Amino acid sequence: MEFPSEDIFLMTASPVIKAITNFKQVSKTLEEFDVEEQPSSLLEKRYPNIKVIQSGVKQLKSDDHKIFTEDGKEYIYEKLCLCAGAKPKLIFEGNPYVLGIRDTDSAQAFQKNLAQAERIVVVGNGGIALELVYEIQGCEVIWAIKDKAIGNTFFDAGAAEFLIPKLTAEKRETPIECKRTKYTMEGSEEKERSLAASDKLGSALGPDWHEGLHLKGTKEFCHKVHIEILCEVKKIHLQQEFIQLQRTSSTFPKEEKNVKPDEVLWPVYVELTNGKIYGCDFIVSATGVVPNVKPFLDGNNFAVGEDGGLKVDKHMHTSLPDIYAAGDICTASWEPSPVWHQMRLWTQARQMGWYAAKCMAADTLGESIDMDFSFELFAHVTKFFNYKVVVLGKYNAQGLGLDHELMLRCTKGQEYVKVVMQNGRMMGAVLIGETDLEETFENLILNQMDLSAYGEELLNPDIDIEDYFD
């Protein structure tokens, strides 16, 4: 707290605040922490100059340095940091059978619907879809993806193949403990939580969000996932519409894989661009996010990135005076390190928030500030299909064009190691399983040492690679 005598207002639409606890720097850039929901009074007690105002911001007048909240109040700021996150980018938004997952309310609504479901369709191929298809039990999942292989935001086809057997496993394994951010709800008060209106945007759930949920449908089996590749959703037909089309159009496609007796109908039918139709109880749209900029744009001439976020420079400053932004709402618009890119993740939101605060303080004091080290290398640790997953740098050769080489090491059911090399330098890596390679590879990517002489030996499991580079 650099300015204990200044008033700091934390304005939030959510009744609880998220606090980071047990923060641990696992390596130079990989970090591990718990995220807890806490009543705002705890923060106010700890820092008396912070006041939490629980009301959504409905308007910003940047020319007047004023913001207006939904409870009819207005506030003047000297410096403002916008951290309003993102919203799910839903397909067929507004269709009552299409659900998104973002905050506690939407996750609970999903759980409730799943408890009555026999079959659902999951659309999307990123973090949420990967977690869902693995966690859901007792409900058939039709997983519709645009790509050839699963998990396109994190993996290539090789890694996808390594992971697939876990989806056909009969039994769920005991979850592994791994170094990744953990999400708990300790300290939050149920009473407060239930007051949150369902149309209000709460905080994104983040890591381990499904651990407190019971993700089970009506059946007794474990996984039953059918994957439809290279397709999108063309149309969603409600039951009545579907019956009508079946009756009147001789060319209308037949429903695939009907698990119910012929005369029993599904509430909703999904028509895919590959011509197939699946009946289901509901659809989950896990199709990414859009920055939540709407309340702030009207009347303010922000520069906005291609992904819809508020553009920020290397000091987290937006294009408007005294307004900064951090986390999912912003689009990093500085010239990034060759091995860093933005991804809307907890870790980056925390790093950006921390660094934005330092930039705001430095500006106030008229001091200069260097870019935070965390933006030197993209580093993320998570868990998919009960494997520890570490992704580093340009792990999918993002932006490297054809000018790169891949090296692989894979032991079925145990580990998958991929490194991305360019001109003898390591540019990125995907590590699945307990590889213990993250620190060494992090160093090799950061120091850009010429590794040409080592060739394939880099991934030789019989060599202790750490000794090589000490």
**Residue numbers at the binding site for ligand FAD (CB under 6 A):** 11-14, 56-57, 83-85, 101-102, 127-128, 181, 201-207, 209, 292, 295, 327-329, 344-347, 349, 382
> Which residue spans within 239-286 are E strands per DSSP?
268-272, 277-280, 282-285
What whole-number distance in Å separates Cα of residue 468 and Cα of residue 8?
Answer: 50
State which residue, 91 or 421, has the beta carbon closest to ligand NAD: 91
> Which one of ligand FAD, ligand NAD, none is in contact with 347 (Cβ closer than 5 to 8 A by kind)?
ligand FAD
For residue 157, give the DSSP letter.
H
What whole-number distance in Å separates Cα of residue 335 and Cα of residue 311?
Answer: 12
Spatial contact of 383 and 135, defined as CB atoms under 8 Å apart: no
305 near ligand NAD, judged by CB under 6 A = no
State which residue, 17 or 284, has the beta carbon closest to ligand NAD: 284
Cα–Cα separations (whole angstroms), residue 230 to 145, 149, 156, 272, 349: 6, 9, 15, 10, 32
Range 336-355, binding ligand NAD (CB under 6 A): 343-345
State which residue, 252 or 354, has the beta carbon closest to ligand FAD: 354
CA nearest to 344, candidates 279, 290, 281: 290
From 25-33, 121-129, 188-196, 313-321, give the range in contact with ligand NAD by CB under 6 A. Answer: 121-129
CA nearest to 253, candidates 231, 264, 229, 237: 237
- 27, 125, 292, 318: which one binds ligand NAD (CB under 6 A): 125
State which residue, 121 or 458, has the beta carbon closest to ligand FAD: 121
126 near ligand NAD, judged by CB under 6 A = yes
What whole-number distance in Å separates Cα of residue 204 and Cα of residue 18?
Answer: 10
- 15, 124, 327, 393: which one binds ligand NAD (CB under 6 A): 124
292 near ligand NAD, judged by CB under 6 A = no
433 near ligand NAD, judged by CB under 6 A = no
Spatial contact of 419 and 407, defined as CB atoms under 8 Å apart: yes
- Smallest gap from Cβ 273 to ligand FAD, in A, equals 26
127-135 vs 157-167: helix axis angle to the nearest 10?
20
Spatial contact of 431 and 384, defined as CB atoms under 8 Å apart: no
> Which one of ligand NAD, ligand FAD, none is in contact with 318 (Cβ closer than 5 to 8 A by kind)?
none
The residue nearest ligand NAD at its CB is 126
- Smallest gap from Cβ 267 to ligand FAD, in A, equals 24
State which residue, 389 or 465, has the beta carbon closest to ligand FAD: 389
> Which one of ligand FAD, ligand NAD, none is in contact with 13 (Cβ closer than 5 to 8 A by kind)?
ligand FAD
What whole-number distance in Å separates Cα of residue 85 and Cα of residue 153?
Answer: 19
Rg (CA), the chain: 24
Residue ranges in contact with ligand NAD by CB under 6 A? 91, 123-129, 131, 146, 152-153, 232, 286-289, 343-345, 382
